[in-house]
Amino acid sequence: MSRRRTCLTALALLGASATSSLAADPAGWYVSGQAGAAWQEDSSTNGAMSFHSESDPGFDVLGAVGRNLGNGVRLEGELGYRQIDLSKLSIGNDGGAGAAAGVGSLNGVTTNNVSGGSHVVSFMGNAFYDFDLPNTRFKPYIGGGVGFARVEADDLRASNAPLVSDNAVVFAYQAGAGVSYPLTPQTDAFLDYRYFATQDPTFTAATGGTVKTDLQTQNVSVGLRYKF
């Protein structure tokens, strides 16, 4: 009986150790990739032109290299790309763009006859904290980051009148949360939410002069993380 009890105790300790190893990731490097949907919040542009823009849902693709510190904290460098197209413009002042394009004044016009959108390449330094929960293999996390982004207003047009086609490099920041699940000891799948925004970029308008706008996006994506 004593030997049986000893064996059972050893097995229980082994099981607890295995469970613990699943819950707490050891220190080490990892790479991750994710892709999903991005929604740009309505934005206002002012200066040489003034208009209010609405956008269609777009997409994002993110890749990162990071290190788990072994205490729940992860630090990483991230490269991201987001593309979101225009769906509607409400124009207060076209800055003469309509007349220059031969379509008349667009002042006071709200139109779906638009093209172009936002292309954003971001370089971020992030920090995340993973929570170890009892009796589950799911691991929620929270975090955020700061960095910079190249924001491109890619050939924005209304009724085929050129408005803005320019780019700017600005400060960027993000915050988010998600949950991961281990597929293998080295690979986690995860669902991720990010709020991503930048300092207001300034562009040169098609008719000259400068315009300033704002950029804020909501992003939901799925991804894989491979640990070395």
The token duo for 106 is 């667009």
For 21, phi then psi, to 5°, come to -70, -30
pLDDT at 13: 42
Is residue 15 situated within a structural domain? no
* pLDDT greater at residue 11 or residue 159: 159
pLDDT at 16: 40
Is residue 168 situated within a structural domain? yes
CATH number at residue 101: 2.40.160.20
Segments of 43-72 assigned E as strands: 43-47, 50-55, 58-68
Is residue 17 situated within a structural domain? no
Is residue 219 situated within a structural domain? yes
Quote the mean pLDDT of the chain: 90
pLDDT at 24: 58
pLDDT digits (tens, 9 = 90+) for 63-88: 999 999 999 999 999 999 999 999 99
Is residue 20 situated within a structural domain? no
Q: How many domains does the chain have?
A: 1
Q: Which of 2-16, 93-107, 127-141 has the lowest mean pLDDT?
A: 2-16
Is residue 18 situated within a structural domain? no
Q: How confident is the model over 161-166, as a mean pLDDT?
A: 95
Distances (CA, A) of 202 to 80, 92, 127, 215: 21, 18, 29, 11
Is residue 142 situated within a structural domain? yes
Distances (CA, A) of 53 to 71, 163, 186, 200, 211: 44, 12, 44, 15, 13
* pLDDT greater at residue 15 or residue 68: 68
pLDDT at 37: 98
Per-residue pLDDT for 17 more than 70?
A: no
pLDDT at 26: 87
pLDDT at 19: 39
Domain that holds residue 117: 27-227
Q: How confident is the model over 16-35, as a mean pLDDT?
A: 71
All residues at 6 or more sequence positions from 125 whose CB lies less than 8 Å from its CB, including other chains: 75, 76, 77, 78, 145, 146, 147
